[in-house]
Amino acid sequence: MNFTFTKEQLMIQQMAKEFAEKYLEPVAEQVDRENKIPDEILKGLAELDLFGIPYAEEYGGAGGGYDGYVLAMEQISRACSGVAMTISAHSLSLSAINVFGTEEQKKKYMTPACKGEHIASFAFTEPQTGSDPKQLATTAKKVGNEYILNGTKRFISNANWPGVAVIFAVDDQTGKPSGFLVEKFCEGYSISEPWDKIGMHGGQLLDIYLKDVRVPAENMLGGPSMGYPILQLGISFGKVGVSSTALGGILAAYEEGVKYATEKMHRDAPISKFQAVQLRIADMAIKYEAARWLTYRLGCLANNVKDPRAFAKEAALTKTFVCDTMVDVARISIDIHGSYGLMNDYKIAKIYKDAIIGPEIEGVADMQKLIVAGVTLAERK
């Protein structure tokens, strides 16, 4: 095993860190308050190729691999989780296209998205079904050389920006879910107002309404009835982004706890003098290191997925551990802050609200544990 970063990895990490400190941190409070990412931030991310780190240069990407992606996302989320959430959902969509798309589809849809000209979406969840493929209600009816899509999608990231959306619908030719590449804001596409979620502001979630949306047959992704395989592997790649976002939150909570402990005075000495506070700092350090190397490992595994089922297990266990750990570390940091940690004037309050989102998105924690157990038991047969 080699835990030493390459020159390229260090460059990606440093680039993201500098951008986060110089541009994201000064506007993080504004993003949290307005639930909107400023256009100049999106432009800056695009100029640094941060929308396409893992993908090949031939599709407009930076060729930095998922290991480089993890390093960048940690630094971005450390400064502003909503920006990281936006990139994570965008990358989930591109990863699905990268694996299942034709050469023509990849060049057409990935290239502008990797360059940050478009921001991609991944639309599976529905109001009445959650994420159960067997209860999918959105329909795709084939008429000539087109499919006509009708339905509603819920809690969709990036639905408010132009670009491609991977939309899942029951194909009337097979009666099973299929994936379709849909240009957002085409005729028949509309969206709701953003949901007022508790944290990760700036990473907006909206509903998508599809009313007789016409999609060329060649925009089917991966072929008929391939919806579930696309969902399964796509979400596994998505968990790389979610885990990285949570890791950045852990680092932010850890740093805020140490900062407060060394600056808050009690009888002419910082509260870090107390053993109880020192034990909490140690707990945060231990949890961060465990989460860090598990997430970095997942990034390396994502670079070369040979067995999708085994990768799904690693993604599920990493996402569960790291997201749960963010909640733990944020709570420990609040303990260090005492009553001040409950005040929105302090950054740790925002971090805690960001933290409790992680275990509930991209598959709830219990479902991830069932994936881990299912693959583990199958491997023993």
3-state SS, residue 197: coil
> How many angstroms separate the CA atoms of 105 and 23, rounded?
33
The predicted structure's pLDDT at residue 133? 78
Query: Which token pair is 364?
Result: 């709830």
pLDDT digits (tens, 9 = 90+) for 77-121: 999 999 999 999 999 999 999 999 999 999 999 999 999 999 999
The one-letter amino acid code at 261 reads A
Cα 232 to chain centroid, rounded: 15
**What stretch(es) of the chain map to CATH 1.20.140.10?**
228-379
State the average pLDDT over residues 14-41: 98
CA distance 234 to 122: 9
**Top-level class of domain 228-379:** mainly alpha
What's the pTM value of the predicted model, to 2 decimals? 0.97
Q: What is the pLDDT of residues 57-82, one digit of tens each?
A: 999 999 999 999 999 999 999 999 99
b (16+ CB within 10 A) / e for 302-324: beebeeeeebbbbbbbbbbbbbb
Give the residue ranges of DSSP H helices in the chain: 7-19, 25-34, 39-47, 65-79, 81-100, 103-105, 111-114, 227-263, 275-302, 308-337, 347-355, 365-379
**CB-based contact 316:372 (threshold 8 Å):** yes
**Every domain range in the chain assigned CATH 2.40.110.10:** 121-227
> CATH 1.10.540.10: which residues of the chain?
7-114
Which tens digit of pLDDT belongs to each residue from 313-358? 999 999 999 999 999 999 999 999 999 999 999 999 999 999 999 9
Is residue 131 over pLDDT 70?
no
d(CA 240, CA 243): 5
The pLDDT assigned to 81 comes to 98
Number of Cα atoms under 13 Å in the Cβ half of residue 322:
31
The CATH code of the domain at 121-227 is: 2.40.110.10
pLDDT digits (tens, 9 = 90+) for 148-173: 999 999 999 999 999 999 999 999 99
Right CATH for 7-114 from 2.170.16.10, 1.10.540.10, 1.10.10.10, 3.30.365.10? 1.10.540.10
Q: Is 146 a catalytic residue?
A: no
pLDDT digits (tens, 9 = 90+) for 240-276: 999 999 999 999 999 999 999 999 999 999 999 999 9
Point out the catalytic residue in the list 74, 126, 256, 362: 362
